[in-house]
């Protein structure tokens, strides 16, 4: 069945969406073409390609791409495709090279994608082949832009600038970068990689969903409570790993009072749930480094921001306070790959980076006791939606009660505004004229 714009529009209502958007492979193919083929997609962070010759191999939708740093210091995003007979040139996930070499017939490419050498070049003399023709190089993606070290690319020749696309949602990237005394982040090490058995949108729906933690995470909340009961004196503050589990058990009242803000292009964020403890000696040392770098007033201003997950629709989420980034890649209608990165704040005390790693290990790792709770829920959603029961998925909570201001729409903390907002963006991409 081929759906026209009207049929696609019929799948998204103001406060409910049709189950086909999660289970129909044809819709998935259209999403790859119209969302991942058009939007600004996060590719990587400049610190992953620090030195000339550094590269990472990744993908946008079904397009294999390479992000590399050339000898002149510029960062490029190239299709990972040989200009000869099409082989994927870069096989490793990351590395450093003087030049790329295709494994098939040995064509070589500079790290800006230009074709460097072809064996037995005389065989091309008098043919239509031109070694300078960019179509025989590793071609550049149509649009690549960076915001404060975060590199995005688009497969579409035209569209809004990255600044317009991010809009004021940039403030969450600012929040993450400003927390560094040097105003710079770096990815340390690799990433956790997980493939989960659910549609990619199920993950995005979860990130600003405040009605799930006390239910889905009940067992990890209980584990945190139990540990504290057995190991801490009465009334003693929870150490960080325990807070990361127990805070999910806060009562509904707490979540209701959190801020939720949604942005026109599908982005959104929610207020923080793990504010730092200012009497913690490591945090005090960090605050001193921030004050030294920015002055007391500005440092206070930066550290007063408290946001939990920010979603940059459609493929990343950051947690700016603990320097986390989760990157998703849709593999199939019911399969999604997720990579989890931890960033170091340049200029912050080494001990402070441990807070970031504790967050990664307690909350975002495949071996943690928190994230698998969510993944079990994602799997159940995917399996449950196979049922030929009602075709509708409810997103009614607090529908119509949101408040509009300039670039943002705001709502009470337990509203399903962020999900409804994602589907308005989805509709925009899926029904736009090519
Ligand atoms: S396919 Fe790459 S050199 Fe032939
Ligand atoms: Fe969760």
What CATH number is given to the structural domain containing 66?
A: 2.102.10.10
Kindly give the pairing relationship between strand 54-60 and strand 41-45: unpaired
Closest ligand 1 atom to Cα of 83? 2
> CA torsion 343→312→19→429, rounded to 10°?
-140
Centre of ligand 1 to C-alpha 82, Å, is: 6
Task: Decide if 3 is inside a domain.
Answer: no
Task: Decide if 20 is inside a domain.
Answer: no
**Average per-residue pLDDT for the chain:** 96
For residues 148 and 201, state if they share a domain. Answer: no
Average of per-residue pLDDT across 122-128: 96
For residues 243 and 354, state if they share a domain. Answer: yes
The predicted pLDDT at position 326 comes to: 98
Kindly give the pairing relationship between strand 108-109 and strand 75-79: unpaired
Centre of ligand 1 to C-alpha 117, Å, is: 11
Tally of domains in the chain = 2
Instruction: Map residue 58 onto helix, strand or coil.
Output: strand
Task: Decide if 105 is inside a domain.
Answer: yes
Closest-approaching ligand to the CA atom of 376: 2
Alpha carbon distance 323, 365 (integer Å): 14
The predicted pLDDT at position 1 comes to: 57
pLDDT band with cut points at 50, 70 and 90 for residue 433: confident
Output the residue whose Cα is nearest ligand 1's atom 3: 105
Strand partners, 261: 269, 410
CA distances from 95 to 86, 134, 274 (A): 21, 24, 35
- Tell me which residue of 426, 430, 434, 425 sits closest to 5, measured CA to CA: 430
Question: Is there a contact between 404 and 421 (Cβ–Cβ < 8 Å)?
Answer: no
- In this model, does residue 299 exceed pLDDT 80? yes
Centre of ligand 2 to C-alpha 238, Å, is: 20
List pLDDT tens digits, range 402-417.
999 888 999 999 999 9
List pLDDT tens digits, range 9-23.
999 999 999 999 999
Closest ligand 1 atom to Cα of 105? 3
For residues 119 and 194, state if they share a domain. Answer: no
For residues 131 and 194, state if they share a domain. Answer: no
Alpha carbon distance 7, 26 (integer Å): 13
Task: Decide if 10 is inside a domain.
Answer: no
Instruction: Retrieve residue 28's tokens.
Output: 């998935």
How is residue 119 annotated by DSSP?
T
Closest-approaching ligand to the CA atom of 116: 1
- In this model, does residue 2 exceed pLDDT 80? no
Centre of ligand 1 to C-alpha 101, Å, is: 9
**Sheet harboring 94-96: ordered strands across?**
75-79, 63-69, 54-60, 94-96
The DSSP code sequence of 382-395 is HHHTTSSS-SEEE-
The predicted pLDDT at position 405 comes to: 87
Q: Domain boundary residue among 131, 154, 177?
A: 154
Residue with tokens 């409810």: 394
CA distances from 359 to 82, 308, 342 (A): 40, 12, 9
- In this model, does residue 434 exceed pLDDT 80? no
For residues 182 and 123, state if they share a domain. Answer: no
For residues 190 and 265, state if they share a domain. Answer: yes
Centre of ligand 2 to C-alpha 207, Å, is: 7
Task: Decide if 21 is inside a domain.
Answer: no
- Confidence (pTM): 0.97
- In this model, does residue 38 exceed pLDDT 60? yes
- Domain range holding 137? 41-154
Closest-approaching ligand to the CA atom of 115: 1
Question: Is there a contact between 40 and 153 (Cβ–Cβ < 8 Å)?
Answer: yes
For residues 135 and 207, state if they share a domain. Answer: no
Question: What residues flank ligand 1, with Cβ below 6 Å?
Answer: 82, 84-87, 102, 104-107
Alpha carbon distance 221, 244 (integer Å): 9
Q: Domain boundary residue among 154, 187, 211?
A: 154
List pLDDT tens digits, range 94-113.
999 999 999 999 999 999 99
Instruction: Retrieve residue 235's tokens.
Output: 């009334």
For residues 119 and 259, state if they share a domain. Answer: no
Centre of ligand 1 to C-alpha 81, Å, is: 9
For residues 186 and 100, state if they share a domain. Answer: no
**Sheet harboring 100-101: ordered strands across?**
100-101, 108-109, 115-117
Instruction: Retrieve residue 396's tokens.
Output: 């009614």
CATH of the domain at 367: 3.90.380.10
Task: Decide if 199 is inside a domain.
Answer: yes
The predicted pLDDT at position 120 comes to: 97
Pocket of ligand 1, candidates 64, 81, 84: which has the most ligand atoms within 8 Å of its Cβ, to mutate?
Answer: 84
Alpha carbon distance 341, 339 (integer Å): 7
Instruction: Retrieve residue 1's tokens.
Output: 């069945």
For residues 229 and 376, state if they share a domain. Answer: yes
Closest-approaching ligand to the CA atom of 371: 2
For residues 116 and 179, state if they share a domain. Answer: no
Output the residue whose Cα is nearest ligand 1's atom 1: 85
pLDDT band with cut points at 50, 70 and 90 for residue 331: very high
Q: Domain boundary residue among 128, 154, 180?
A: 154
Task: Decide if 15 is inside a domain.
Answer: no
Strand partners, 205: none
Instruction: Retrieve residue 107's tokens.
Output: 């064509």
> CA torsion 219→225→230→231, rounded to 10°?
120
Output the residue whose Cα is nearest ligand 1's atom 4: 105
Alpha carbon distance 85, 99 (integer Å): 19
Determine what percent of the chain is predicted with pLDDT higher than 90: 97
The predicted pLDDT at position 64 comes to: 98
For residues 51 and 150, state if they share a domain. Answer: yes
Task: Decide if 142 is inside a domain.
Answer: yes
């Amino acid at each position: 069945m081929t759906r026209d714009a009207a049929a696609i529009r019929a799948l998204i209502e103001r406060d409910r969406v049709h189950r086909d958007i999660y289970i129909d492979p044809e819709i998935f193919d259209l999403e790859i073409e119209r969302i991942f083929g058009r939007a600004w997609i996060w590719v990587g962070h400049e610190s992953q390609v620090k030195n000339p010759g550094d590269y990472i191999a990744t993908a946008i939708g079904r397009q294999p791409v390479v992000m590399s740093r050339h000898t002149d210091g510029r960062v490029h995003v190239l299709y990972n495709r040989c200009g000869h007979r099409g082989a994927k040139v870069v096989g490793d996930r990351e590395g450093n090279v003087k030049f790329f070499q295709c494994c098939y017939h040995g064509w070589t490419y500079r790290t800006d994608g230009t074709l460097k050498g072809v064996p037995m070049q005389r065989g091309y003399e008098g043919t239509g082949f031109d070694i300078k023709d960019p179509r025989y190089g590793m071609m550049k993606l149509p649009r690549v832009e960076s915001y404060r070290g975060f590199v995005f690319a688009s497969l579409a020749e035209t569209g809004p600038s990255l600044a317009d696309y991010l809009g004021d949602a940039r403030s969450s990237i600012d929040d993450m970068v400003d927390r560094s005394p040097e105003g710079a982040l770096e990815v340390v090490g690799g990433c956790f990689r997980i493939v989960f058995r659910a549609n990619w949108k199920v993950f995005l729906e979860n990130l600003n969903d405040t009605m799930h933690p006390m239910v889905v995470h009940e067992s990890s909340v209980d584990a945190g409570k139990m540990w504290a009961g057995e190991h801490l004196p009465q009334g003693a503050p929870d150490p960080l790993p325990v807070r990361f589990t127990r805070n999910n058990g806060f009562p509904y009242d707490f979540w209701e009072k959190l801020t939720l803000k949604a942005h026109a292009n599908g982005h959104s964020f929610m207020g923080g749930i793990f504010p730092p403890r200012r009497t913690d000696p490591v945090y005090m040392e960090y605050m001193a480094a921030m004050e030294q770098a920015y002055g007391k007033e500005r440092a206070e201003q930066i550290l007063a921001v408290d946001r939990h997950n920010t979603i940059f629709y459609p493929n990343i989420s950051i947690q700016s306070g603990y320097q986390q980034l989760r990157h998703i890649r849709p593999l199939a209608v019911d399969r999604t790959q997720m990579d989890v990165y931890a960033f170091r704040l340049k200029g912050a005390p080494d001990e402070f980076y441990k807070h970031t790693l504790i967050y990664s290990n307690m909350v975002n790792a495949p071996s943690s006791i928190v994230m698998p709770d969510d993944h079990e829920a994602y799997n159940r959603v995917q399996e449950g939606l196979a049922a030929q029961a009602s075709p509708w998925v409810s997103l009614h909570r607090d529908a119509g009660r949101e408040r509009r201001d300039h670039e943002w729409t705001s709502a009470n903390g337990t509203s399903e505004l962020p999900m409804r907002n994602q589907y308005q963006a989805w509709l925009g991409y899926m029904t736009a004229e090519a």
